[in-house]
Structure 1
Amino acid sequence: MDISAFITFSVEFVLFTLIFLFLNTPAAKKICQRKKSYLVLITGILFAQIVAILFIKNEVGDVFLFSKAGHYLRLKLDFYEFDSTHSQFPFFPFLIYFHALGNFLAENIGFFTFSFYLKLLLLLPCVYLLSYQINRNLSSLPIESKRVAQLQFLASPLTYAIILFHGQVDVVLLVFFVFSVKFLLRHERSYQNLLIGSFFFACSILAKTWSIIFFPVLMKFQKNITKTTILIIITILLLAADIYLYTVTVYYTKLSNVLLALIKPGGPVGIWGVTYILSSLPKVINW
């Protein structure tokens, strides 16, 4: 991270922290009693978020790799084939289509970075859909408390750091998973809800494979072998359909390329996570 990126992060992080702290005051709750004032606040936060990502020119390593994967798809080349270690894009070829669009816009418009378009997707609709669900699920609270909780989630410095600054796509997974739960675990557990919920659950796995860890939880709460079997079948079919669509999109690929990438436990060393932090430390403690 260069000095300009650090300054941008620091200023914006402090800004959203101050907004978040204000939303924890009685004054914020009083303001949110009025619908018009609440709408002004949520619109203002959205405007601040868009301006924030506009000023972030630094692209984090894994986000840059998403752009690269999208560029290869635009050329109809198999990125999994060129990624010999199968670690740069260890996901299903699902969001790669949006990455291709973002890469196209970034290269042809110029002023906006690929990260800007990606974070717009993460922000609208993903983050705001989650905030809406927070508002809806707090049904036992007064309306002003629900609105404040929603705004606190949106203005949280954690939301800023993870979504707006870094550009973590895990929020896409979470949105799909939340909607899958809404349909799969409804009181009226019809087969229509099962189909819709299974579709959303499959999409959550397509977005990022670690969503599969939620499957035992869904199975426990469903308590129905037949419906669980249907969930598994629909999920597998949608995953297979996504891979097939990718194989006919690029000029040439092998199924093994995609599968090897999907089972890769982590990304390349020094790109993100602990190794990314350690890479900036002195060599004597750089493991």
Structure 2
Amino acid sequence: MAKKWIAPHAGGIDVLDFIEEETPAPGPGEVTIEVRAAGMNPADYKHLERATDGFPLGIGYEVAGVLAAVGPDTQIASGPCHPGDQVAAFRVQGGYTDELTVPARDVFAMPDGLSFPEAANLLLAATTAAEMLEVTAVDQHDVVLIHAASGAVGISAVQQARWRGARVIGTASHAGTDRVRSFGGIAVEYGPGLEQRVRDLAPDGIDAVLDAAGTDEAVQVSLAVRRSPVRAVTIVRGAATDAAGFVAIGGAMPASKAFRDDVRAELLARAGAGELTVPVARTFALEDAKEALRFLQQGHPGGKLALVP
């Protein structure tokens, strides 16, 4: 019997139930994963808050663990597999559990050198950051401004922009500036005077804007300092970003989903080669998922969070 968190009806974090349920055996094209860590993302509680149907609803999009069973004539996305192999999976449904059966196409061999909490937190943030860089066509000649650069998507974007040879300026709170610097970005603090601080660092202007903040300040500063009116992308769409002409992307959009699925293998390989790091701030026991979600909801956890069965 698997232990898992589900929302039986609408109501957000408070309605979550910790239940036991039989895990279905994998059929052709499926595998069963014994979960060693479930990644946590703001998308998890946002999904709960917005859901109006599909109940009972599982929560959690990415996990890492060990293959418990493999369906007939099945291999995972990275190739042949066997029970006992260590794997990472994204995009799945209902990852807040100790065991689940998922489509094999979403499962990859876990790179050496990563812990289960790191592997379970790699792909949602990294694929989002990769799409932001793709949409804005960042290359080695660019100066890039990343808003909310100390968050999970921001830190991944800093690292990936650096692979491309770009010079990266990242906005963050005072507490997050050291994290931005540790990954090769030039950190600037939010708050009054941000535009001038960015201008001091990039007197010729900014080539591309990657917005993971969505604040009025982020939009206004971006408009003031960017060179081009079209090379800006946001994952926090709102009236201000729409008016400013930022391209909005999101995992539910067909083009975004296709790109993010295609780039998963490359990002795992980069992580295995030590080129992409996932900062993990804290782990929680699986049964403490509500506490962990509330902690995540407060913002600025200082790195990724994971649930460990």
Q: Same fold (TM over 0.5)?
A: no
- Flag the structure with more relative contact order, 1 or 2, with Cα contacts below 8 A and sequence separation at least 6: 1
Q: Which has the larger radius of gyration?
A: 1
TM bucket, shorter chain: under 0.3
TM-score normalised by L of structure 1: 0.25
Say which structure is richer in strand. 2
Say which structure is richer in helix. 1
TM-score normalised by L of structure 2: 0.23
